[in-house]
Amino acid sequence: MLTLVEKLLFLAAVAVSIYLSFVQFRRVYDVVRRGAGELPTRGEVAGRLWHAAGRWLTFGNMWKSRDGAGVFHALIAWGFVFYLLVNVGDVVQGFFAVRFLGAGSVGAAYRFAADIVTVGILIGMVYFLVRRFVVRERALGYSDNVMLVEKVKAGGIGRDSLLVGLFILLHVGFRLLGESFAIALERQVAGHGDAAQPFANGMSLLWGGLDAAVLTVGQHVGWWVALGLVLAFVPWFPRTKHLHLIMSGVNFLARPQRSSLGELPPLDFEDETIEEFGAARLEQLPWPHLVDAYACIMCNRCQDVCPAYVTGKELSPAALEVNKRYAINERAEAMAAGEETPPLLEYAISESAVWACTACGACVDICPVGNEPMFDIMHLRRYQALTENSFPGTLQQAYRGIERQGNPWNQSARERLAWAEGLAVPTVEDKPDADVLWWVGCAPSYDPRARETARAFAKVLNHAGVSFAVLGEMESCTGDAARRSGREDLFWGMAESNMEVLNEVAPRRIVTTCPHCLHSIGKEYHQYSGGGTPQWEVIHHTQLLSELVADRKLEYNVEQDGVVTFHDPCYLGRHNGIVDAPRTLLEAGNIALEEMPRHGQQSFCCGAGGAQFWKEEEPGERAVSAERYAEARATGADTVAVGCPFCLTMMSDAANAAQDGVEVKDVVELIAEGLDGSGQ
């Protein structure tokens, strides 16, 4: 127990720490509130609380990669959660002559847990310090072409990590040391140690030759260093990356309910008070995206899975969040006071990096603390395209086609059904009571290669006796490419026009071979439907076909001699969670599937998303499609199966460039080849 003087000194130190901590945490709050948007209501927070708590305690998506690092991180993170109780217990024992939670079984269980957790934290921290400063793992760094703020370039992350690492080692280490002195003192008085603390008890044997006075001093020093470091660290805590321990929980609470991982927020074009659309500066980002910067753990998992970064582009979603964090720390007082910050393009991310994003959502999906750098980039694109009228020139033709012809190929609407020549493909005028409306999409309507997929799907539908119809000339582009490249105005126009048509036709179900059409119509059009949800179900063609297989309305046998691998489109697997249906279809056709290392919801992008299909790829070491094709080829595959017209083109181009005889086909093309009848 502390002396009276020690108690008074500690209480004074607590008061100072609380005051300084309040100032720092209040500044964090003021900075976050500079962001756009309103805070969630109490009801919204309450509704998300249990889900957020679960993700916080289980570290979100941390277990999707780097299992080893995840285990050591868990030792530290769970340990620090438990240490909230440990520190309270140590304060109680310092002020009162009691054993925290008693000397019985409950107290023994607590002391055992504290002892094990203490050693776990020390082991985990040593692992991470060795990993960063001895092994110098490349995954924790950045490519030379990635934009970084000066403090990061000068080694700021390393210094911050070292300081926090030393704090943890000293805090936990001195706590263990103090306990060992207390047990040695207890052994001298009571004749036994504390079996409930195996590590501290073992260490206490080292002090067997010391007298009681020395042991008492050692116990007090351990107590003071352990808890004194906490009092000193807490005010500094908001400026360290370890604020993620708190802000990750805020992140999980802040995220709104979305229909899918990649559902972008709408813009209000009817609000005449808005002078600038999108975001160019920190304070123009939605406030949860400022929380992102504080929540970032700087683990770089997001850049590990980023197609642009992996292929040598200037984009690193991790660097974007790190740059935001350091910029906020540098300008925190000015931001809190309402001052304008410099444009993000000057220090946080390069213009080339902004346009290199494929909007695949991999960075959002993998982040263990709920960060969403992809959305930052979409807000930046909106500002560039809508406010600055600045975007890659190669996108202009696609924009012009969407505006004038209703499709990015800039071809006449009268050609939308040219692909169906010679096939039984009724329009809604021919069959208004069809069970299924087939949203063909622009690629299958105009792209020569994708037309083959459309013809194959029509044959399969007719073979299975499905009652379907198409819109024909009434169909227009869904606007996905426009939205992902910042032209929300074009997307808005397409959404309203298409919803008028769909509301008039009132389909029972909508099926599409394009995951981008599926995502736009099924997951985003509700934003521009007057607040309501459209009364239609949108499914992928592999889902419909798998239903037909299950109902025994579709049987086929694909004669495929070689290996087949399936490439999961980002907007099918990751954005919408559809991964089983295409595999079910391949299996039903007796096709042996060889999976790529990155598959399912962790699939790697083909490079077409985010409007990349319509522009020149940003400079890098290699094309994204080449990276993905190499992975597919490494399986030994003779055929790469896909479920998206854009993936079909990208992978076909990569296969043609490789000239190694690999075929790229949509799943439905394989099915059509395996039908007993013609399906004409």
Domain coverage including residue 153: 4-29+49-141+148-253
Residue 467 lies in a domain: yes
pLDDT in tens, 585-629: 999 999 989 999 999 999 999 999 999 999 999 999 999 999 999
Mean pLDDT, to the nearest integer, of 113-140?
A: 95
Predicted local distance difference test score (pLDDT) of residue 40: 85
> Is residue 248 domain-shared with residue 295, that is, in the same domain?
no
Residue 598 lies in a domain: yes
Question: Where among 229, 253, 277 does a domain terminate?
Answer: 253
> Is residue 96 domain-shared with residue 185, that is, in the same domain?
yes
Predicted local distance difference test score (pLDDT) of residue 515: 98
Q: Which of 554, 552, 581 is nearest to 674 (CA)?
A: 554
> Is residue 483 domain-shared with residue 379, that is, in the same domain?
no
409 backbone dihedrals φ, ψ, rounded to 5°: -75, -10
Which residues, at least 6 apart from 543, have a Cβ–Cβ distance to it below 8 Å?
511, 578, 581
Q: Give this prediction's pTM.
A: 0.93
Cβ(609)–Cβ(520) below 8 Å = no
Place of tokens 């753990």: 297
CATH for 542 = 3.40.50
Cβ(511)–Cβ(471) below 8 Å = no
Predicted local distance difference test score (pLDDT) of residue 534: 59
Q: How big is the chain by its Cα radius of gyration, in Å?
A: 30
Question: Where among 526, 550, 574 does a domain terminate?
Answer: 550
Which H or E element spans position 509?
A: strand 509-512
Cα 207 → chain centroid:
50
Q: Which of 135, 117, 240, 131 is nearest to 176 (CA)?
A: 117
Cβ(283)–Cβ(335) below 8 Å = yes
β-pairing verdict for 663-666 and 468-470: unpaired
Which residues, at least 6 apart from 459, have a Cβ–Cβ distance to it below 8 Å?
423, 672, 675, 678, 679, 680
**Number of domain units in the chain:** 4
pLDDT of 533 > 80? The answer is: no
Residue 39 lies in a domain: no
Mean pLDDT, to the nearest integer, of 34-53?
A: 87
Predicted local distance difference test score (pLDDT) of residue 678: 40
Residue 409 lies in a domain: yes
CATH for 114 = 1.20.950
- Complete DSSP assignment for 398-461: HHHHHHHHSSTT---GGGTTGGGTTS---BTTT-TT-SEEEE--HHHHH-HHHHHHHHHHHHHH
pLDDT band at 64 (very low <50, low <70, confident <90, very high): confident
Q: Buried (b) or exposed (e) across 344-373, using 16+ Cβ within 10 A?
A: bbebbbbebbbbbbbbbbbbbbbbbbbbbb
pLDDT of 679 > 50? The answer is: no
pLDDT band at 676 (very low <50, low <70, confident <90, very high): low
Highest-confidence range of 40-49, 260-269, 616-625, by mean pLDDT?
616-625
Mean pLDDT, to the nearest integer, of 503-521?
A: 96
Highest-confidence range of 269-278, 520-529, 538-547, by mean pLDDT?
538-547
Task: State both tokens at 629.
Answer: 């094709």
CA distances (Å), origin 594, targets 205, 541, 587, 607, 646: 58, 22, 11, 22, 22
pLDDT band at 272 (very low <50, low <70, confident <90, very high): confident
Predicted local distance difference test score (pLDDT) of residue 530: 59
Question: Where among 327, 357, 390 does a domain terminate?
Answer: 390
The mean predicted confidence, pLDDT, of the chain is: 94
Q: Enumerate the β-bridge partners of residue 314.
A: none
pLDDT of 677 > 50? The answer is: no
Mean pLDDT, to the nearest integer, of 253-273?
A: 87
Residue 258 lies in a domain: no
> Is residue 513 domain-shared with residue 577, that is, in the same domain?
no
Which residues, at least 6 apart from 214, have a Cβ–Cβ distance to it below 8 Å?
none
pLDDT of 326 > 90? The answer is: yes
Highest-confidence range of 67-76, 97-106, 616-625, by mean pLDDT?
616-625
CATH for 327 = 1.10.1060.10
pLDDT of 309 > 60? The answer is: yes
Predicted local distance difference test score (pLDDT) of residue 680: 39
Mean pLDDT, to the nearest integer, of 44-51?
A: 86
Q: Which amino acid is at 259?
A: S
* Alpha-carbon dihedral 42, 44, 47, 48, rounded to 10 degrees: -110
Least confident of 332-341, 484-493, 523-532, 665-674: 523-532
Predicted local distance difference test score (pLDDT) of residue 242: 87
> Is residue 368 domain-shared with residue 502, that is, in the same domain?
no
Least confident of 152-166, 248-262, 378-392: 248-262
Residue 40 lies in a domain: no
> Is residue 301 domain-shared with residue 372, that is, in the same domain?
yes
> Is residue 525 domain-shared with residue 466, that is, in the same domain?
yes
Place of tokens 């703020």: 149
Predicted local distance difference test score (pLDDT) of residue 42: 84
pLDDT in tens, 216-236: 999 999 999 999 999 999 999
Place of tokens 């969630």: 40
> Is residue 439 domain-shared with residue 507, that is, in the same domain?
yes
> Is residue 238 domain-shared with residue 102, that is, in the same domain?
yes
Residue 264 lies in a domain: no
Residue 38 lies in a domain: no
Burial (0-12, 13-18, 19+ Cβ within 10 Å), 209? exposed
> Is residue 115 domain-shared with residue 231, that is, in the same domain?
yes
pLDDT in tens, 403-425: 999 999 999 999 999 999 999 99
> Is residue 467 domain-shared with residue 523, that is, in the same domain?
yes
> Is residue 488 domain-shared with residue 587, that is, in the same domain?
no
